Chain A
Amino acid sequence: MEDVLIGRILTGLTLGVHILYATVGVGIPLLIMILEFLGIKKNDYHYLTMARRIAMGYTVTVAVGVVTGTIIGLQLSLIWPQFMQLAGHIIALPLFMETFAFFFEAIFLGIYLYTWDRFKNRWHHWYLTIPVVLGAGISAVFITMVNSFMNSPAGFKIVDGVLQNVDPLKAMFNPSMPERVFHVLVTAYMTAAFIMVTIAAFNLLKSKFDEDREYHKKGLKVMMVIGLIMAGLTVLAGDLSAKYLHNHQPEKLAAMEWHFETESNADLILFGVLDEENQEVKGALRIPSALSILSDWKPSTEVTGLNDIPKDEWPPLVIHYFFDVMVFFGMFGLGASLLYFILKWLKPNLVHSKLMLYIYVLTGPLSFLAIEAGWFTAELGRQPWMVRGYMRVSEAITEASGLGLTLILFGILYFVLVTTTILVLTRMFKDKSAKESQIQYYGTESLDETGGRF
């Protein structure tokens, strides 16, 4: 029993760290692609320099992302051997394809990063971003397929403990796959864009390099456009996920919303504190019928309550808090970017005011928190199952001794890695203005044009 808890904490810790880097790893290539495109198209050295500076920082996060990814890849077999034995039989296909996508990305990322000045035609270098963006995105798709399988297993039968009728494609294209893949991709792009918003806004507030103001304002605008689009899509993705849960995984939705009695016109509960004994929610904001509408468009929709689900299959009720955090911090970026464009249209002189810049600075970290909270909601919401309906986590935990020691060692490792990443990234850009970088990359002649433009 204790081993199960340690195993869960260790897996959660590894994934919690990995998704920080993985989200950046999936999202940033798209930003680099867009920036380099704008730079070449408009012949604007600001965008080109921005793409290069971001790519430079990106190599560091990719390195740590690769190693934490390798760790979780192996740790799954080390901590949950029986699960991987089962998974090997049913979802080896997407796991295997994920490595191909990763391989593809790794090759072209290496080429991209070290050939900035090797092509006469700038478009030739830009073409290299295509395989990188595709590789990063597709590997996210495949790995999300694996995770979706754990939530909505499909494509096999177990008869007397023996696997039968395995259909690899059905296992890959399981019921929850489309919503989850969509959700993961758009939130990764959103978070990456808001991280860049944070950096641009922070520099506008605090940077000692006054000559970079125009550069950061340009960056802020591009990232706000991407952020707004992706945040809009995220809302759609969230809505689709809720509808999926209503139809296929009602216990998770009910736990997320502390919804005990099966009823129509179900209220949506925001915030609040739960008295678990009496199933009473205190201090919450209730939106009448909203849960029913969220589940299936109309107030009359009947939403399954927890009391209709066997108690030993209840997910932990704490996921309500994670759910709240995800929704609110996830929406924060949407609000901030909307505000940015409204001000830009109505009161342009307030767009870069101090107050607004402070708001923009928050978007990146809050998006990260929303990602973490979202994964906690999804993964805790699957408890007590490892593979929903088929394998409980207690049946999948390793029989080996020494889990506690591993937890300590990895804990120290992650602390060191995250701290050093922050340290290295700050040092990389702290003392070097974008203008200096531009001169280093493209020579002084690139400054001759007004605003970095020809």
Chain B
Amino acid sequence: MDFATLGITVLWTFLYGYVVIASIDFGAGFYNFYAKLTNQDNIITPIINRYLNPVWEVTNVFFVFFFVGIVGFFPDTAYYLGTVLLIPASISLIMLAIRGSYYAFNQYSKGTNMVWTFLYGVTGLFIPASLSVALVISEGGFIEETAAGLDLDYVELFFSGYTWSVVFLAVISVLYISSGFLLFYSNRAKAKQAVHLTRTWFLTWTIPMLVISQFVFLELRATNREHFDNATQNYWYFFLCSIVFMAIAVYLVYKKKNYGIAFIMVMLQFAFAFFGYGISKLPYILYPFIKLDAVVNDSMAIALVIVFVLGLLLLIPSLIILMRLFLFDKDYVQGKE
């Protein structure tokens, strides 16, 4: 495997990791707010807090890891994406900042505050929406090269059907993944009411999930035909697997059994869709400006790969400890400490 392929595989895997754990986090914030509005917060809020308190910071690192990594392996992305994303990424950053800080403010300050819960909950849906714009732009057609330099065509972006289908896909995925996880966690916590509530949420989002996925495909066909053809002709089996895993997850939840397996199925569903999308996109990272071969010089690539392997040797055991303490420790999950 050459460095470029290795680099993009590593980065894409981290982005996938971020999509899953950030979705849990973003969705939890929104559900927390929703539960408070409907006076159900005593059922679900303690469970959300028990999970999120020790891990929210780690979630953020996955994101930092991705954007530092992509500049490291593919420095040209810093120039193209950095230039055109000034406004969209700044908006995402401001919302991330509000969300991250107000989570802590809310958590460690005396008495929770409805305004803070609101800020925390609503930004949880706007952030994935605004971050997903980066993926839309990478399909090509939105960047103009003028004499003054690169610029983003906001009109084109705003009126594109593809933009909106991806934005809705992001938001619905967040609510879908998050409810799947909270269902599993509530079940482990033996909180009956919470199980009931989160199960309803999960089943509610299955149909919109299916519908929006179809829309994304239709719009991709109009936006970047080459990518669409590659996905449907060469890599169709990724998307087929994804649908099968989704069917299993929904079946298990509907039959009220094996919520843990059901969540693993949800993760597989997204893994196959995400990697299928990623592979069919290659060799372009940013269509048509950056191809996979825009990787850094060899000596840096070797150094990055070595550091990456060493880093993982340190990270994986640490993450396992974290999960064993707060995810798989029965007493902790059930609130007994």
Contacts and interface: CB of A to CB of B under 8 A. Distances in A.
Interface stretch (B189-197, B246-254, B269-277, B298-306): B298-306
A81 B101 contact: no
A405 B87 contact: yes
B78 A81 contact: yes
Interface majority SS (helix, strand, loop, mixed), chain B: helix
Nearest to B326: A114
Given A107-B319, A166-B300, A64 B101 contact: yes
Contact of B81 (A77, A90, A110, A117): A77
Contacts of A85: 75-76, 78-79
Contacts, number: 225
Nearest to B65: A99
A342 to B, nearest CB: 39
B244 interface: no
Contacts of A115: 325
A89 B296 contact: yes
Interface string B286-321: 000000000011011001100110010011001101
A300 interface: no
B315 A168 contact: no
A125 to B, nearest CB: 12
Contacts of B152: 400
Interface string B212-240: 00000000000000000000000000000
Interface string B80-95: 1111111101110110
Contact of B304 (A86, A93, A409): A93
A84 B296 CA distance: 12
A194 to B, nearest CB: 23
A88 interface: yes
A410 B104 contact: no
Q: How large is the interface on A (under 10, 10 to 19, 20 to 34, 35 or more residues)?
A: 35 or more
Contacts of B337: 117-118
Nearest to A430: B110
Interface in A115-172: 115, 117-118, 131, 163, 166-169
Nearest to B299: A166
Given A103-B58, A413-B98, A401 B75 contact: no
A115 B337 CA distance: 9
A74 interface: yes
A260 interface: no
A66 interface: yes
Contacts of B89: 74, 78
B64 A59 contact: no
B60 A66 contact: yes
B64 A73 contact: yes
B54 interface: yes
Contact of B82 (A81, A92, A420, A428): A81
B83 A399 contact: yes
Nearest to A14: B93
B158 interface: no
B64 A63 contact: no
A371 B308 CA distance: 33
Given A93-B304, A106-B61, A114-B54, 4 more contacts: A70-B63, A75-B93, A97-B311, A110-B57
27 contacts: A60-B104, A63-B100, A63-B103, A66-B60, A69-B64, A70-B60, A70-B64, A73-B64, A73-B67, A77-B67, A78-B85, A81-B83, A85-B79, A93-B72, A93-B300, A96-B68, A106-B60, A111-B325, A163-B297, A167-B299, A168-B300, A400-B87, A402-B87, A409-B90, A413-B98, A421-B101, A428-B109
